[in-house]
Amino acid sequence: MYVPMTTFVKIIAFTLITISSLVIAVPSSGTNESNDDIDMAKDEMERASYFTFVMLVNMVPPNLFQGNVTFLMPSDRSLSRSMIHENNVENLLLRHSIPSPLLFDHLLHLPTNSVLPTSNPNLMLKVSNNGRRGLFLGNVRIVTPNICTRGSSVRCHGVDGLLSVDVQKPGLSSSITCSSIAAGPLVAPAAGLSAPPFYEPSGGANGRPQVKLSVTCMITFVWVLHSNIMRLV
């Protein structure tokens, strides 16, 4: 199958835009603003009847998420049908979040078979994109997009079930040391796509998880997408 060059360029552009929003920023006074964004997001979740997800967010340490995050929220019914031990709440939330604030329109630019990082640095999600007819991340479909929009550093979308991660980072990444760097956005956004805002990543100086990406990590992430593209050629 032939992949047009414009599609390949679009993938790389979106990848670099997303990576630029994950790179650790210089500590600033924006922490309070990020905490306010989390509070506003929880209010929006409750207004959309995602009460159980809000309860789970309230169960983890406050510094686990400090903005710069997109939550993928199962419904109350889906969560009520699962056995969630108190010790597993943090892992569940890390699996159901992306360390960058992405609106639904941003996610629609991801091509099928690309991969998206979660807040768990060892896990990624495979994308299946049928446009507005259905966008799947792993085994779940986004059914209620753009629930959280008031704050600038937090986004959330309702999904139709619990995520079971079906893609892991390749073995290559485990042998690479990724030192943190301070940097701004690397490239201008692709035509028709505004870049996700640039924020300090989720988790403060003592928080978890902190996304630390270097040039080597960026190359690794692009390599993952390139491998998926080559399978389509």
Asked if residues 2 and 233 have their Cβ atoms less than 8 Å apart, the reply is yes
Reported pTM: 0.65
pLDDT tens-digit map of 49-85: 999 999 999 999 999 998 899 999 999 999 999 888 8
Give the count of beta carbons closer than 10 Å to the beta carbon of residue 220.
17
**Which of the residue ranges 42-46, 120-124, 190-194, 223-227 has the most confident prediction, judged by mean pLDDT?**
42-46
What is the extent of the structural domain holding 189?
Answer: 5-232
Tell me how many domains the chain contains. Answer: 1
Mean predicted confidence (pLDDT) in 85-89: 90
Give the count of beta carbons closer than 10 Å to the beta carbon of residue 7.
13
Residue type, 233: V
The C-alpha atoms of residue 199 and residue 16 are separated, in whole angstroms, by 15
CATH number at residue 122: 2.30.180.10
With a pLDDT cut of 90, the percent of the chain lying above it is 48
Of 209, 210, 203, 208, the closest CA to residue 66 belongs to 203
Q: How far, CA to CA in Å, does 98 sit from each of 2, 94, 120, 163?
A: 30, 8, 9, 12
pLDDT tens-digit map of 183-206: 333 233 444 455 554 434 444 444
Mean predicted confidence (pLDDT) in 150-159: 96
